């Protein structure tokens, strides 16, 4: 029964945390941390622990895959060098700095490197939740960094844990081989899973089966990569990025509609649950620390948090000057960002679900059967660092963004207008040929031409920013009247069901059609 109680409790925590966050104007992840800490006070929750592999293998692939599907491949290619530096060199330097700080505070080198690996990677979902006010380029770089840097951190983590438990021996060729296997093997597995995914999606007409393949893809990529000791994170990311490019040509509309209804909700629940778990784990780690250890752990949280911020800021500025000194091409100068924008990126280095998953996956015992040294200390410090980055940096970031006075990013709106205008213009030009190919009645073709031209006039007026344009007024009246008619039809159908003149099955079928039309019109009204 405790499992069902936990499900209800976790769902209620997600609801309360997000509602309070919206009402109080606080980022929902911050409120979820608080709610999780309060839930950790419940005795039944204190005694319940998820197996570490569940956190790492069940939650992470889904979040990474969705982030990969919804990020901008073009922006990644444009900023590839910076992303690679941030996701490899910065992670190694950060893990090393934290390991040195941890060792100075009394941790053995093995657990110190485990702690460094846990807190080194930034988190894509935390970035998306807390950095929404940034320009598109900044968001894309931060998200891409956090997608790839997990692989680097997990290689460091695997080495550190292996050395601590007595399974690994640290030599330069061995470390180089592990990194090569992690990245090369992970990328190869990602390509293979994407190829299988593409072929299956082309052959499956049933939306349910097609989206089942989509759900299996990240878990399959992660599992296969882990079986060959490659980076499961990179496998998931590569597979997702490939599918993001080919999916618009392969996947049918009904498949996409079903996926867009499922994935945002699934990732919302999983991501929120992980933030709640961070708060719960604080309580768990707190109970396993003595009073003196707790004082040391709090000092470690402050020291490690400061080290993370300092290393990130130093790297962002130093690497920029080094790149400028080495690469003086004109196109490189166009990609430069201001120092103020770099400060914003420094504050946006949030830690989140990945760090928690890594910390919780630390084994309980060594090969000798002895307890893993300082495991509770690592979990507590990692959880504390996540809280500090999300709460302190998350609350400071809006003010830093205002201070930076970053130029408003209008590129998405401009490209949206370009795409919609071009697509409608070309559709109008193709209409006579398509009507002839279909053998359509000329009256139908003329009616469609008038509808498309009215839509094109509306799009152009919206782009010109003239709210009183006749085309916009016509569109608003048309949309408002259509929505009113849909509401009237829905009320009529419900009345017929209540009068027992139609069955609930008929009601649901008609209601689905009306809902689709209403959502389409409401979205059109919102955009225009």
Query: How does pLDDT run across 415-466, given as a tens digit for each residue?
Result: 888 888 898 889 999 988 988 888 888 888 888 888 888 888 888 887 776 7
- Residue 196's pLDDT band (boundaries 50, 70, 90)? very high
Supply the pLDDT for residue 334. 62
Question: For residues 84 and 87, what is the distance between their CA atoms, to the nearest angstrom?
Answer: 5
Structure confidence by residue, pLDDT tens digits, 397-418? 878 888 888 777 777 778 888 8
For 273-332, the pLDDT digits (tens) are 877 877 777 777 777 777 777 888 889 999 999 999 999 999 988 888 787 777 666 666
| Cα–Cα distance for residue pair 502/499, rounded to 1 Å | 8
How far is residue 407's CA from residue 387's CA, in Å, rounded to a whole number? 30
Question: For residue 362, which of 345, 374, 350 has the smallest C-alpha distance?
Answer: 374
* Among the listed residues 364, 3, 311, 350, the one whose alpha carbon sits nearest the alpha carbon of residue 145: 350
CA–CA dist 167, 21 (Å, integer):
45
* Spatial CA neighbour of 490 closest among 507, 472, 465: 507
Residue with tokens 């969705």: 66
Note the pLDDT of residue 437.
87
Hey, which residues does 371 pair with through a beta bridge? Answer: 365
The reply to whether the predicted model has a pTM over 0.85 is no
Average pLDDT of 487-491?
Answer: 91
* Cα–Cα distance, 493 to 90 (Å, whole number): 60
Interatomic CA distance for residues 304 and 99, integer angstroms: 9
Q: What DSSP string describes 84-141?
A: HIIIIIHHHHHHHHHHHHHHHTT--HHHHHHHHHHHSS--HHHHHHH-TTS-HHHHHH
The Cα–Cα gap between 299 and 307 comes to 12
Question: What crossing angle do the helices spanning 353-360 and 375-388 adopt, rounded to 10°?
Answer: 170
């Amino acid at each position: 029964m405790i499992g069902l109680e936990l499900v209800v409790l976790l769902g209620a925590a997600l609801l309360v945390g997000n509602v309070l966050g919206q009402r109080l104007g606080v980022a929902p992840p911050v409120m979820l941390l608080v709610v999780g800490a309060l839930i950790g006070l419940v005795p039944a929750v204190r005694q319940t622990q998820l197996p570490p592999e569940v956190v790492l293998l069940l939650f992470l692939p889904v979040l990474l895959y969705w982030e990969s599907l919804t990020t901008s491949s073009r922006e990644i290619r444009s900023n590839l060098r910076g992303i690679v530096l941030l996701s490899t060199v910065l992670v190694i330097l950060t893990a090393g700095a934290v390991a040195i700080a941890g060792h100075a505070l009394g941790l053995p080198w093995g657990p110190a490197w485990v702690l460094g690996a846990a807190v080194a990677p930034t988190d894509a979902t935390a970035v998306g939740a807390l950095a929404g006010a940034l320009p598109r380029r900044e968001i894309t770089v931060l998200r891409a960094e956090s997608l790839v840097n997990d692989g680097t951190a997990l290689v460091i983590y695997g080495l550190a844990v292996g050395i601590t438990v007595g399974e690994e021996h640290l030599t330069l060729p061995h470390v180089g081989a592990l990194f090569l296997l992690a990245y090369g093997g992970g990328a190869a597995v990602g390509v293979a899973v994407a190829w299988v995914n593409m072929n299956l999606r082309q052959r499956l007409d049933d939306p349910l089966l097609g989206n089942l393949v989509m759900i299996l893809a990240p878990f399959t990529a992660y599992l296969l990569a882990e079986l060959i000791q490659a980076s499961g994170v990179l496998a998931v990311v590569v597979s997702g990025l490939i599918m993001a490019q080919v999916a618009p040509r392969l996947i049918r509309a009904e498949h996409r509609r079903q996926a867009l209804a499922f994935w945002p909700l699934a990732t919302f629940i999983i991501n929120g649950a992980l933030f709640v778990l961070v708060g719960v784990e604080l309580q768990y780690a707190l109970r396993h620390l003595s009073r003196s250890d707790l004082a040391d752990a709090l000092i470690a949280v402050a020291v490690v948090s400061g080290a993370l911020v300092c290393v990130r800021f130093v790297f962002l500025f130093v690497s920029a000057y080094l790149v400028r000194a080495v690469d003086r091409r004109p196109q490189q100068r166009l990609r430069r960002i201001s120092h103020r924008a770099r400060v914003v990126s420094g504050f946006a280095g949030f830690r989140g679900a990945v760090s928690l998953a890594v910390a919780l996956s630390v084994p309980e015992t060594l090969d000798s059967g002895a307890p893993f040294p300082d495991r509770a200390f690592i979990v507590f410090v990692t959880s504390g660092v996540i809280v500090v980055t999300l709460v302190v940096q998350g609350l400071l970031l809006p003010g830093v963004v205002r201070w930076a006075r970053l130029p408003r990013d209008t590129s998405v709106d401009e490209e949206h207008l370009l795409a919609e205008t071009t697509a409608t213009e070309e559709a109008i030009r193709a209409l006579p040929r398509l009507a002839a190919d279909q053998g359509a009645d000329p009256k139908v073709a003329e009616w469609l031409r008038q509808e498309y031209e009215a839509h094109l006039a509306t799009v152009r007026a919206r782009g010109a920013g003239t709210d009183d344009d006749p085309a916009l007024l016509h569109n608003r009246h048309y949309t408002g009247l259509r929505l009113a008619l849909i509401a009237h039809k829905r009320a009529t159908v419900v009345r017929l069901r209540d009068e027992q003149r139609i069955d609930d099955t008929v009601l649901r079928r008609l209601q689905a059609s009306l809902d689709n039309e209403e959502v389409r019109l409401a979205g059109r009204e919102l955009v225009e």
